[in-house]
């Protein structure tokens, strides 16, 4: 038996139609591939079927990814299927946007350096110079792009050039405290993740945790979602909440919220790069991970 242990992921979606599962499993079987993890979801509201299959090759000869792709594509066309095949050993390239808060950036850099996140970070972009020391510590290029209302278009053009040159698969807003333009949101559709506190929409603007403290809030948390033109209202990937009580000062609420932000952002990135997230209109289909 072939000792190739490379992990592949086959993902996709199609209109609900008889025979989709046979196409997926049959194609893998004919190419001597063993599917050891499989998730499916049939959305009755949209009549759309979603799937994710994790597999490896167990045949005797050399595995041909090209043959599998070509033969699967021929059959998938009859199902109007959108699909992708990926070698999981190839890390996705992630460009991180950040301002002054460092908790999410620190967490992501640590997870990246220890291999907890299977990603490459070719660039960090910020509208402030403050966190360059962190980027230098991890030997990652840091681009300081100041922005004002008058220079926003120019700054985003520079940002987009860096993202393209880095061949980024994903852009992460790790507490980037600037609103992306509608044009930039469209360019990054489905491949940009933002994190914010889950006190919205009740406590908007400055010092949300202080506002929450004044109202005696008993839950704080964070939401990670795909970026959309609707500010902080994109399709949700992960959410986390933590219980608090009357003893929490505004400062302790902030600390608790930041802990939840970094955890939810890292989880959302992991789910995305492992191809467990699917856009489904204004919502997401998210298959569980490890």
Q: Residues 275-288: pLDDT tens digits?
A: 999 999 999 999 99
Q: Are residues 219 and 248 in the same domain?
A: yes
Catalytic residue among 42, 232, 245, 259: 232
Residue 2 lies in a domain: no
Q: Say yes or no to pLDDT of 10 above 80.
A: yes
Digit-coded pLDDT (tens) for 181-199 = 999 999 999 999 999 987 6
* Model confidence, pTM: 0.93
- Residue 194: which CATH number? 3.40.50.170
φ, ψ dihedrals at 207, nearest 5° = 50, 60
- The mean-pLDDT minimum among 21-25, 203-207, 229-233, 244-248 falls in 203-207
**In the listed set 26, 53, 87, which residue is the last one of a domain according to the structure?**
87
Segments forming the whole domain that contains residue 32:
8-87
Mean pLDDT, the chain, rounded, equals 93
Assign 201 a pLDDT band (cuts: 50, 70, 90).
low
Which value, to the nearest 10 degrees, does the dihedral of the CA atoms of residues 106, 115, 265, 148 take? 50
> What local confidence, expressed as pLDDT, does residue 1 receive?
42
Residue 280 lies in a domain: yes
Q: Are residues 74 and 175 in the same domain?
A: no
**In the listed set 68, 87, 106, which residue is the last one of a domain according to the structure?**
87
Tokens 């930039």: give the residue: 184
Q: Are residues 178 and 204 in the same domain?
A: yes
Q: Say yes or no to pLDDT of 166 above 80.
A: yes
Residue 3 lies in a domain: no
Q: Are residues 220 and 164 in the same domain?
A: yes
Q: Are residues 211 and 96 in the same domain?
A: yes
> What local confidence, expressed as pLDDT, does residue 4 receive?
57
Catalytic residue list contains 232: yes
Pick the more confident residue, 270 or 230: 270
Q: Are residues 37 and 167 in the same domain?
A: no
Q: Are residues 237 and 125 in the same domain?
A: yes
Q: Are residues 77 and 162 in the same domain?
A: no
Q: Are residues 22 and 117 in the same domain?
A: no
How many structural domains comprise the chain? 2
Q: Rg of the chain over CA atoms, in angstroms?
A: 21
**In the listed set 30, 59, 87, which residue is the last one of a domain according to the structure?**
87
Residue 22 lies in a domain: yes
- Residue 27: which CATH number? 3.30.70.260
> What local confidence, expressed as pLDDT, does residue 275 receive?
97
Q: For the chain, how far is it from start to end, CA to CA, in angstroms?
A: 28
Residue 76 lies in a domain: yes
* Mean predicted confidence (pLDDT) in 147-168: 97
Q: Say yes or no to pLDDT of 119 above 50.
A: yes
Length of the chain (residues):
290
């Amino acid at each position: 038996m072939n000792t190739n242990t490379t992990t592949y992921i086959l993902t996709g979606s199609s209109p609900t139609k008889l025979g989709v599962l046979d196409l997926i499993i049959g194609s893998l079987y004919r190419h001597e591939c063993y599917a050891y993890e499989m998730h499916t979801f049939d959305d009755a509201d949209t009549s759309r079927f979603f799937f994710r299959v994790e597999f490896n090759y167990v045949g005797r000869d050399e595995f041909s990814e090209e043959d599998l792709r070509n033969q699967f594509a021929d059959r998938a066309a009859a199902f109007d299927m959108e699909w992708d095949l990926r070698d999981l050993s190839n890390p996705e390239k992630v460009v991180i946007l950040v301002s002054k808060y460092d908790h999410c950036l620190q967490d992501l850099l640590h997870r990246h350096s220890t291999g907890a996140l299977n990603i490459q970070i070719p660039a960090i972009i910020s509208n402030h110079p403050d966190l360059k020391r962190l980027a230098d510590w991890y030997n990652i290029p840091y681009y300081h792009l100041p922005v004002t209302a008058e220079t926003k278009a120019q700054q985003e053009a520079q940002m987009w050039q860096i993202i393209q040159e880095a061949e980024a698969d994903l852009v992460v807003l790790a507490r980037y405290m600037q609103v992306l333009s509608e044009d930039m949101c469209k360019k990054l559709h489905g491949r940009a993740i933002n994190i914010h506190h889950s006190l919205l929409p009740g406590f908007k603007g400055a010092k949300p945790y202080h506002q929450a403290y004044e109202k005696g809030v008993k839950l704080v948390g964070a939401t990670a979602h795909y970026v959309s033109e609707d500010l902080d209202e994109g399709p949700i990937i992960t959410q986390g909440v933590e219980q608090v009580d009357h003893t929490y000062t505004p400062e302790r609420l902030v600390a608790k919220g930041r802990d939840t932000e970094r955890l939810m952002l890292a989880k959302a990135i992991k789910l995305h790069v492992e191809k467990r997230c699917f856009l489904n209109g204004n919502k997401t289909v998210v298959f569980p991970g490890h």
